[in-house]
Amino acid sequence: MKKFGLIGYPLSHSFSGKYFQEKFEKEGLTDCSYELFPLETLSDFEKLITSNPDLCGLNVTIPHKIGVMFYLDKIDPAAKAIDAVNCIKIIKQKPVESFFTGELSSTKVRLEGFNTDCYGFENSLKPLLKKHHNKALVLGSGGSSRAVAYALSRLGIDYKIVSRRKARKQITYSDINKNLMSDRLLIINTTPLGLSPAVETYPDIPYEYITSNHLLYDLIYNPDETEFLKRGKEMGATIKNGEEMLHLQAERSWEIWNNG
Q: Is the pLDDT of residue 242 over 80?
A: yes
Which CATH number among 3.40.50.80, 3.40.50.10860, 3.90.230.10, 1.20.1740.10 corresponds to the domain 2-115? 3.40.50.10860
H helices present in the chain, as ranges: 15-26, 45-50, 77-82, 117-125, 143-154, 178-183, 227-234, 243-258
Residue 89: what residue type?
K
Q: What is the pLDDT of residue 234?
A: 98
Q: Which amino acid is at 138?
A: V
**pLDDT bracket for residue 102 (50, 70, 90):** low
The H or E element that residue 186 is part of is strand 186-189
Q: Where are the domains of the chain?
A: 2-115, 120-245
Kindly list the catalytic residues. Answer: 65
- Whole-model pTM: value is 0.89
Spatial distance between the Cα atoms of 78 and 150, rounded to a whole number of angstroms: 8
Q: What is the CATH number of domain 120-245?
A: 3.40.50.720
Average pLDDT, the chain: 93
Q: Answer whether 2-115 and 120-245 agree in fold.
A: yes
